A = this chain, B = another copy of it.
């Protein structure tokens, strides 16, 4: 099942995109961090090891939060069950929001980005990963072969945003497709400056040690975004264009 995935069992080192995420994260020391969709809490604990002042780990799964809580004695980490669809965080109370592979389950991304913008202090970062819109869009998201036998990823329904249902460990998982434009413009509209956009691709070293990763050179599977909360003065400036 899902909880047996390498990234759940082995933690951050089990996620091939972790080095790319790590390179995008600001220095976390002294920061008040929120980890949205924290799962078993691997990243929450890592943040504290790196010197974060506090971490609030939030996940929809009661099971995962219970397991996460068992894995630490650290009083500066607080885990809780909450739904990102309705979560409200205290205004200007956080220095970093981190989220791995959770936001594509959220229906109302505009609401979420607006709330996160208010929760962060100016200059603070929001660093998150999602399934890539190109990975999620198709009616039937399964590898095809082209005439040369090359693995080819199908794209369809790209501009038809909204529900996507797939079977992934459990039947009928509900995700929400948004275009790349919608995703980035929601952030910009909420007062974030886009600092970096990465699309995870495996390094030659990763492919050498895990040859099945080679197919991830053919398609973008994940999108990684670093966005920085602008000061109010910058916000008014962004209305042009």
Binding site for B on A (CB under 8 A): 24-26, 123, 125, 127, 134, 138-140, 144, 146-148, 150-160, 179-181, 184-185, 188, 193-199, 201, 216-220, 226, 228, 234, 237-238, 240-241
Contact = CB atoms under 8 A, between A and B. Distances in A.
Contact of A154 (B26, B153, B158, B181): B153
Contacts of A158: 153, 199, 201, 217-220
Copies of this protein, total: 2
A114 to B, nearest CB: 17
A153 B155 contact: yes
Contact of A139 (B146, B157, B228): B146
Given A140-B147, A180-B197, A188-B195, A219 B155 contact: yes
Given A26-B240, A240-B125, A197 B217 contact: no
A234 B155 CA distance: 37
B155 A184 contact: no
Contact of A148 (B139, B160, B197): B139
A49 B147 CA distance: 49
Contacts of A25: 241
Contact of A180 (B180, B195, B217): B180
Given A134-B134, A146-B140, A181-B199, A26 B241 contact: yes
Ordered nearest first, which 3 A-B pairs have the shortest CB separation? A159-B201, A226-B241, A195-B241
A234 B233 CA distance: 12
Contacts of A123: 237, 240
Contacts of A220: 155, 158-159, 179-180
Contact of A146 (B138, B160, B234, B241): B138
A146 to B, nearest CB: 5
Nearest to A25: B241
A220 to B, nearest CB: 5
A155 B240 contact: no
Contacts of A197: 180-181, 184-185
A181 to B, nearest CB: 5
A157 B218 CA distance: 4
Contacts of A241: 24-26, 125, 127, 195-196, 226, 228
Contacts of A156: 146, 150-153, 218-219
B196 A185 contact: yes
